[in-house]
Amino acid sequence: MATKDVAGQVLYGRSSILGAMIWMFVLSFILTVLLGWIPVIGPFIGPVVGGYIGGSKAGSAGRAALAAVLPAVLLSLVILGLGAIAAAVAGLPILGAVGAVVAGALGVILLIHNVLLFVCALVGGWARQVRST
């Protein structure tokens, strides 16, 4: 019984916009890193779970949309930073070409990741709003 109460509080407890942002960023990042090895859907489990739980924590669709902006920007900066480091290390043309292909693929994954995070945050916020009325 106590486990159900804790799980309910984690999933459905109300949080500030900053708290919802933290939930989205941490869950999205950790699950993406841990499950990124799963073909096709692995990199996208993180933003779906993180977005929904963070959106639910935000309390409404509007607050969830606002809360989804910062995690998307932070994840984009992390990926761009990794790309900049890889470009600085790649002194060979072949490595540069491989890095460009990988960066293009990561750019597409990043775009899909951010869209999923935003959409799932809206769904989580909307579902929380409907549950509370």
Provide the b/e sequence for 45-81 (b: ≥16 CB within 10 Å): bbbbbbbbbbbbbbbbbebbbbbbbbbbeebeeebee
Tally of CA atoms within 13 A in the half-sphere of 6 that contains its CB: 3
Residue 110: give the domain boundaries: 2-132
- As for how many domains the chain has, the answer is 1
Residue written as tokens 């070409």? Answer: 97
pLDDT at residue number 13: 58
pLDDT tens digit sequence for 41-80: 888 898 899 999 999 888 888 888 888 888 788 777 877 7
What mean pLDDT value characterizes the chain?
79
pTM value is: 0.73
